Amino acid sequence: MEKYDIIIIGGGVSGLSCAITLGSAASKLDVASDKRILVIDAGASHLNKAEINNVAGIAEGTKGPELLGFMAKQAKSYENVTLLLGTVVSVAGTKGDFTVTTESDDTFQADIVVFANGMQTIDVKGINDLVVDHMRAPRPGMVMIKNDNGKIGDGKYVTGCAAGASSMFATAAGYGAQTATDIISTWTGKYTVIHDVLKKD
Ligand SMILES: Cc1cc2nc3c(=O)[nH]c(=O)nc-3n(C[C@H](O)[C@H](O)[C@H](O)COP(=O)(O)OP(=O)(O)OC[C@H]3O[C@@H](n4cnc5c(N)ncnc54)[C@H](O)[C@@H]3O)c2cc1C
């Protein structure tokens, strides 16, 4: 069974944002340099339905699928990040030894899992009893995973709309980056952000 440090379930806006921040840490922090991240995504991000006209810094009229493709490419550009198309059906185990199983019966091991599975249907054995109506649903039928500030247990995180963020690109992406910095901070032992600084000419 292949082992990863972190498995992110869902490769939409928040999952990819989380992976990009984690990936960017590898070249900056010794503790992050050997961490391997797997993103498993079922390919049904809400962003696929969007045309973007109101996200700070993103050109008006940008097509959602185009933006998602760009984010996936950004995530894959980090050597320690792997993206996989698949649907996770169960998560079992405890911190340091989670087993993640997909619909096609592939299994992976992880120290940490991050649920980034959006606000549509959340159906993963192991967390189903934590699924509740979404606290910021724009329409009925949306769901989220009950959590405490993005955590649902030791080594188990939830991010983006699945954690209760509003259905907006910026909030989902921001939550993903926050989850990544929360995880990185557990590695460093102090709150840590990953910044690049403008070089002087
Ligand atoms: C029609 C529409 C228009 C929108 N327009 C705008 C807009 O103009 N401006 C704006 O800011 N926002 C807009 N949004 C909102 C934006 O798309 C969302 O806020 C954002 O996509 C949420 O990110 P997320 O990561 O939480 O969820 P998503 O991006 O939905 O990603 C969740 C991912 O998890 C995957 N997944 C779910 N379960 C599993 C599983 N068991 N195993 C593996 N993968 C799984 C899904 O397939 C999906 O890819 C729009 C949304 C919609 C629906």
* Residue 199 falls inside a structural domain: no
* Per-chain mean pLDDT for the chain: 97
CA angle at 71 for the pair 34 and 190, rounded to the nearest 5°: 40
* Residue 184 falls inside a structural domain: yes
Q: Whose CA is nearest to atom 12 of ligand 1?
A: 168
Q: Can you read off the two tokens belonging to residue 87?
A: 């649907």
* Residue 161 falls inside a structural domain: yes
CATH number of 156's domain: 3.50.50.60
pLDDT at 49: 97
- Quote the pTM value: 0.98
pLDDT beyond 90 at 201: no
Q: Whose CA is nearest to atom 49 of ligand 1?
A: 45
User: Which pairing describes strands 2-9 and 107-115: parallel, antiparallel, or unpaired?
Assistant: parallel
Are the C-beta atoms of residues 130 and 54 closer than 8 Å to each other? no
Please tell me the distance between residue 189's alpha carbon and the centre of ligand 1 in angstroms: 32
* Residue 196 falls inside a structural domain: no
pLDDT at 157: 98
* Residue 197 falls inside a structural domain: no
Using pLDDT thresholds of 50, 70 and 90, give the confidence band for residue 179: very high
Print the domain residue range for 168: 2-188
166 Cα nearest atom in ligand 1: 19
CA angle at 161 for the pair 8 and 40, rounded to the nearest 5°: 20
* pLDDT digits 0-9 by tens, 17-43: 999 999 999 999 999 999 999 999 999
* Residue 37 falls inside a structural domain: yes
123 Cα nearest atom in ligand 1: 41
Look at residues 20, 3, 2, 5 and name the one whose alpha carbon lies nearest to residue 159.
20
* Residue 92 falls inside a structural domain: yes
Please tell me the total count of domains within the chain: 1
Kindly state if the Cβ of 19 falls inside 6 Å of ligand 1.
no
* Residue 110 falls inside a structural domain: yes
Kindly state if the Cβ of 9 falls inside 6 Å of ligand 1.
yes
Using pLDDT thresholds of 50, 70 and 90, give the confidence band for residue 173: very high
